[in-house]
Amino acid sequence: MRISFFRAILFFTLLVLVGGVYSQTVSTRRGDIPIYIPDGYSDSRAHPLLLLLHGYGFDGEVAESIWGLMDLVDEYEFIYSAPTGTKDSTGSPFWNATAACCNFYNSTADDLSFLYELVKQIKVEYNVDANRVYVVGDSNGGFMALELAYRFPQVFTAVASVAGASHLILRPTPKTGVHVLQIQGTEDTSILYNGGSIQNNKYPGVQASTTQWANYNKCSLDDVSIGLKDLFPSLPGSETEVLLYENGCSKDGSAELWSVLGGGHGLGRPVDTSNMLEVVDWLFSKAKSDWPSEYNGVAPPGNLELDFNSIGSFHQRDNIIYTCIRALQNGQLSEVNGHSRFDVGFNISSLTGGTIRAVKSRPFNLKSLLTKFSEPPDCSGSFEINGGVYSDILLVGDNIFQVNFEMINPSSLEFILLAATNLNSPP
């Protein structure tokens, strides 16, 4: 039973759903914005969110035709949107990102608020993993991606700025970290590698932008990783130099620079599939270390008629079971350090051995948040202090398991699986 349960975890979370991306819209003050949902979308499971921000003179549809990110929506199971900025007096769509780029005609457009509200509205209508919100910005969109990261670091997990730049304004350090990737061709004549100006508005070079974000993320500037990538077969050798600041960084932050030696503006028109995958894989390897949702647990399917309105769930990318547990003493609710319910994150320490280990915890729902159905959440898990037995109901992929674990190491908070029943299976 122990082995079969964890094989089920692997099977159902690694399964790639075959189907087609389907289009939806969300309503904003700028009208209905198209978003794309994976065919296997389930409202009971949190999904990453990815925004693509176009360059000056393009729109979201053109940006998608250049990048082709829609082709990954099913495989990577993320929610996707490529919104369009406002049009300037020449009719060119743009993002009002920084003084340098690209508000050439003194528009008062507040694109920062629009994009923040777009993310917020998508979260309202769909189950978005708040720890996995990503942005790819191309050229003018790259400037915007970095500005979003600075203004809303609590919202965005990681951003990739392709042929964009940060700002020259002296600003305080953001309150939380963001993973930032800069990609720039050394021969880019539109956004200069070493910095320049647009209509007398200066912008920093790509190395200065990357160092700025390394400082924002409090990374060590002395302990830097250096490597090579081969992004463009048409350019000789491994033409892309990689500079990575990841040591000593604050929580949830890093800074990385890919310098394409001899490269021009952006990653091509269109972007080669292999390069697109490099960027997306970099983004999706990052996650904020906070809890995965604003409320506790996920809603179980109604047809199971469970006694709880929220259950725990396994997050493959984190390799963590997130759940809420009631502390029991001889079957009666008990308090530990003044609390009787706790959010707990269990790391799967051994698939074959069927062991998990508690790696983080916090008092349950201190902010008195409600579930998506406007109900107070209730804990599906329980821990019997005397016997050391942890029991729970968990979402694993698309399956619901009733599980029992026994504590085997109190000092490391490690548990071993005793039994697991698939509640989706017929009797």
CATH 3.40.50.1820 fits 17-284, yes or no: yes
Among candidates 217, 260, 219, 270, which has minimal Cα distance to 240? 260
**Where in the chain are all domains bearing CATH 3.40.50.1820?**
17-284
Is the sign of the CA dihedral 350, 355, 359, 364 positive or negative?
Answer: positive
> Is the distance from CB of 135 to CB of 115 less than 8 angstroms?
no
35-89 pLDDT per residue, tens: 999 998 887 778 999 999 999 999 999 999 999 999 999 999 999 999 999 999 9
pLDDT of residue 415: 96
Residues of the chain with pLDDT under 70: 1-22, 293-295, 317, 425-427
| CATH pick for 302-422 out of 1.10.132, 2.60.120, 3.80.10, 2.30.110 | 2.30.110
pLDDT of residue 308: 86
pLDDT of residue 245: 96
Q: At residue 213, what is the residue type?
A: W
> Is the distance from CB of 274 to CB of 281 less than 8 angstroms?
no
242 three-state secondary structure: strand
**Where in the chain are all domains bearing CATH 2.30.110?**
302-422
268-313 pLDDT per residue, tens: 999 999 999 999 999 999 999 887 766 678 888 888 888 888 999 9
What is the spatial distance between Cα 308 and Cα 14, in angstroms, rounded to a whole number? 27
pTM exceeds cut of 0.75? yes
210-222 pLDDT per residue, tens: 999 999 999 999 9
> Is the distance from CB of 311 to CB of 394 less than 8 angstroms?
yes
